[in-house]
Amino acid sequence: MNINTNTLVSITDANQNFSRVARLVDENGAAVILKNNVPRYLIVEFGQAEAEQTMPDEDVMAISRRFIDKYRKAYEELAK
C-alpha cells in the first residue's frame, strides 16, 4: 500500500480536529492516523471500503476455475 505523506495525521491532531481528517479523506480518498509516529489507523470513505469488500463475479469465477483445475482429481474422487 502506498501512503501519501500529505494524508498523515497524528492521533492528537485527529482527536482535536476531526473535520481536517474528513476533509483529507474527501480530497485524497484516505487518511492515515499515526500513533507514536507509526501508521495505526486508515480512514477511507464508506463507499470505498464497501466496494473493496465485495468481489466482482468474474474474480470469483476465475478463482473457482483455478481451484477446480488445481484440485480436479480430488473433486472427481469426491463426486464418485
Amino acid 10: pLDDT? 95
**Domain residues of the chain, as ranges?**
1-44, 55-80
Q: Please state which CATH number belongs to domain 1-44.
A: 3.40.1620.10
Going by pLDDT thresholds of 50, 70 and 90, the confidence category of residue 74 is confident
Q: Give the strands of the sheet with 8-10, arranged side by side.
A: 8-10, 30-35, 38-44
Q: What is the pLDDT of residues 1-50, one digit of tens each?
A: 566 788 899 999 999 999 999 999 999 988 999 999 999 999 998 888 77
| Of the ranges 15-19, 64-68, 69-73, the best mean pLDDT one | 15-19
> Any idea how long the chain is?
80
For residues 78 and 80, what is the distance between their CA atoms, to the nearest angstrom? Answer: 5
For residues 25 and 74, what is the distance between their CA atoms, to the nearest angstrom? Answer: 47
What's the pTM value of the predicted model, to 2 decimals?
0.60
